[in-house]
A and B are shown apart, each in its own frame.
Chain A
């Protein structure tokens, strides 16, 4: 099996902007994404988590997407940071190198 290097983009942020982040990922042509919920943590803002399940206020999400090229990943990263994370919502974005088996899928 042949492995190729790809880029995994990880976004950890407030659930309030989940749909916005996913929209950016879709628009930039990423093939898919994975969403983790029930995430808690601490950052420079120390935003708490949860409001007892009665709304998504205070909830956080982790969204991962694998893309074939670094340019695509950076494009997504820039859009998310400039439009949502800078001064507005709490969160972070980072890139990882991953090895995938079926590069055509990305």
Chain B
């Protein structure tokens, strides 16, 4: 596994990320225009959804997809539940709002990590169950809602001024209609219905630009991460430790569940790191800001973006893959 890790760290994508961080640290004026960042995000999600949809159209839709969706929902809720309890426990002792916010970030899905895991699996030419990326909204929504519900239950125990009046139903609707969900599921549907022949005219754009855009996307995320480094100053070592180790627990749980529902190693890898292990830092922050205004947004964003994300792309991906192989051999 060591050479896999080294290979990963020296991959173009990780290096672009590191370059972005470096640029921010030396206070370079390198910055992506907001519109560029948004466009790259749209492109990558549309590409992943479309390809997944076309691939599913080739093998056909079967009950594995429904089981996968149910599994993703359960895992999302479970990961948020575990994170919330660890963060509220005596070791870390975060208040309900902050525990909920961080738990939501860690349980939800990171599109960037998902993109990287798909890239990894495809570059290594490992076959994978095509629909797995499409399970994103199930895990994401389940984790966010669970974290928010737990936080609000925790807040009710002590009188709180920081409650939000956004109901769970509103949050659910917002999450299900969010741009990431619509893009991923929508493009998956389009790819599935249009199939290989229907998408022949548009696929060349998505196929040829995918890796290059991913690299630039990593560069932008690196710049953002570097800019926010100071926000983690003074955060307790235990919390940083949580940020480093919790994703590995998430990967483990994700890998076990994915293997149990019969995914092949490639699919298990994407489920374990692309969905379960990844920590959202693009969509979760805004959801948490509206749902849990009492939480410190710098803490959860910092942990997800500066601590979890680099560890996930450098070590999480190879770890998930090795785990997938080991579990696949045993079951």
Contact = CB atoms under 8 A, between A and B. Distances in A.
Contact of A53 (B36, B285, B289): B36
Contacts of B162: 87-88
A53 B286 contact: no
Interface stretch (A2-10, A44-52, A63-71): A44-52
A94 interface: no
Interface string B123-159: 0000000000000000000000000000000000000
A83 B293 CA distance: 12
B290 A55 contact: no
B224 A86 contact: no
Contacts of A16: 286, 289-290
Contacts of B220: 52
Given A52-B34, A53-B33, A57-B285, A88 B293 contact: yes
B228 A55 contact: no
B174 to A, nearest CB: 10
A99 to B, nearest CB: 36
Contacts of B33: 53
Contacts of B286: 16, 55-57
A25 to B, nearest CB: 17
A17 B290 CA distance: 7
A64 to B, nearest CB: 23
A23 B297 CA distance: 24
Contacts of B34: 50, 52-53
Max chain A C-beta neighbours (<10 A), residue from B37, B161, B286 = B286
Nearest to B40: A54
Contact of B293 (A48, A52, A53, A89): A89
A53 B282 contact: no
Nearest to B285: A57
Contacts of A58: 285, 297
B315 interface: no
Contacts of A50: 34
Contacts of A83: 165
Contacts of A47: 297
B270 to A, nearest CB: 21
Nearest to B228: A48
B96 to A, nearest CB: 15
B37 A52 contact: yes
Contacts of B228: 48
Given A57-B297, A86-B161, A87-B161, A51 B224 contact: yes
Nearest to B290: A16
A95 to B, nearest CB: 25
Contacts of B37: 52-54
Contact of B32 (A53, A56, A57, A87): A53
B41 to A, nearest CB: 5
B282 A54 contact: yes
B164 A53 contact: no
Contacts of A55: 282-283, 285-286
Interface in A17-56: 17, 47-48, 50-56
A16 B282 CA distance: 14
A81 to B, nearest CB: 13
Pick the 10 closest A-B CB pairs, nearest first.
A53-B34, A53-B37, A52-B37, A88-B293, A57-B285, A53-B38, A57-B286, A16-B289, A55-B286, A54-B282
Interface of B: 32-38, 41, 161-162, 164-165, 220-221, 223-224, 227-228, 231, 282-283, 285-286, 289-290, 293-294, 297-298, 301
19 contacts: A17-B290, A47-B297, A51-B224, A51-B285, A52-B220, A52-B223, A53-B33, A53-B34, A53-B35, A54-B282, A55-B282, A57-B282, A57-B285, A57-B289, A57-B301, A58-B297, A83-B165, A88-B162, A88-B164
Given A52-B224, A88-B293, 16 more contacts: A14-B289, A16-B286, A51-B285, A51-B301, A52-B32, A52-B37, A52-B223, A53-B34, A53-B38, A55-B282, A55-B283, A56-B286, A57-B301, A86-B161, A87-B294, A88-B161
